[in-house]
Amino acid sequence: MYHAYSYKNRQNNEFVNGIDDKLSDVKKDVFEYQRLSQYHINLAAIMRDHNQFKACLILCDWALASMIKALYIHSYHSMHPPKELTMNVILPLVHTDAEPGLDIALFIGTMQHMSSLADCPYDQPLELNNIERLFRRTDEIVDELTTRLINDSTE
């Protein structure tokens, strides 16, 4: 379970403190989307712990979408990330020559698809082991993309 004063939060504070006192609106938006992503992860963990697997899937998708929006704003210096995240948007952000991330892009697309089906009845109920794997991978991806943002912002 995540706590309010975790290592990730200290990393986030270092990220903010490393930026000049007068943060630009773009950098503020990047940080806010990254922080929103972490909130979604924390809520997904709570939903998973309460066996609310569909809600957990949706929150994982939202966490990934928030991170992609943070990367988009950071990369393109745009205050308005796209509302719909297609592979044409996701792939250039996560898969570069310096940072290969095709598996990340495919995972994000899969989570988008699975969460869009969350309202539909399944033939088989979602199993805790599968949800746990999806949640863990989502958390790893959010951490990796956060690290990329932090490293890219300090260079």
57 part of a folded domain: yes
Give me the pLDDT at residue 118, please. 52
The Cα 46–Cα 110 span in angstroms is 22
pLDDT at 26 over 80: yes
**Mean pLDDT estimate for the chain:** 85
**Mean pLDDT on 107-133:** 81
Place of tokens 């993309």: 145
pLDDT for position 87: 94
* Residue 101 lies inside a defined structural domain of this protein: yes
The confidence score (pLDDT) of residue 21 equals 43
More confident: 26 or 119: 26
Q: Which residue range forms the structural domain that includes residue 122? A: 25-154
Per residue in 87-105, pLDDT (tens digit) is 999 999 998 887 788 999 9
Between the alpha carbon of residue 62 and those of residues 43, 84, 121, the distances in Å are 11, 12, 21
Predicted confidence (pLDDT) per residue in 27-40, tens digit = 899 999 999 999 99
CATH label of the domain that carries residue 64: 1.20.120.330
Average pLDDT over residues 124-145: 91
Could you tell me how far CA 66 lies from the centroid of its own chain? Answer: 5
8 A C-beta contact, residue 142 and residue 41? yes
Q: Where are the alpha helices (DSSP H) in the chain?
A: 7-17, 25-49, 53-76, 87-94, 102-116, 128-154
The domain tally of the chain equals 1
